[in-house]
A = this chain, B = another copy of it.
């Protein structure tokens, strides 16, 4: 697995200025097990700041900055906007285990219950679309919905 140092180096090469905000976003997503929302990344930074364990004192980062950095990193193909669940988007680092092994879910339109439906089978489709359209850094968002057994009368 790529080291955080190497990853940040790659980011530094592609981005006009490597700022604390960009570093924070990348580091937090790097440490994450799953995809995160902008708000979750923000909260994660707040916690880390609150834990004081790191010196020198960590600066504040606005939620707006998180959004702007995620957008820029997405355009550079470093971050990908993956799933739109419960009203907000989720992000992760491209090319990572999190991206590749995301498992889609199905949610009940009635009670909201969520069920994982196993690992993604569309990564191959991403490649086919790349060939057909010429697009690069392709990702996808898939969400299944239906009525769960309890909600089906």
Residues of A within 8 A of B (CB): 74-75, 77, 80-81, 84, 106, 108-110, 115, 117, 122, 126, 129-130, 132-149, 151-152
Total identical chains: 2
Q: Are B129 and A149 in contact, CB atoms less than 8 angstroms apart? A: no
Q: Are B74 and A109 in contact, CB atoms less than 8 angstroms apart? A: yes
Q: How many angstroms between the C-alpha atoms of A126 and B106 in the bound complex?
A: 10
Q: List 28 A-B contacts (CB under 8 A).
A: A75-B110, A75-B147, A75-B151, A77-B147, A81-B109, A81-B145, A84-B84, A84-B141, A109-B137, A117-B132, A122-B142, A130-B146, A134-B148, A134-B149, A135-B147, A135-B148, A135-B149, A136-B146, A136-B152, A137-B146, A137-B147, A138-B144, A139-B144, A139-B145, A139-B146, A140-B143, A141-B142, A141-B145
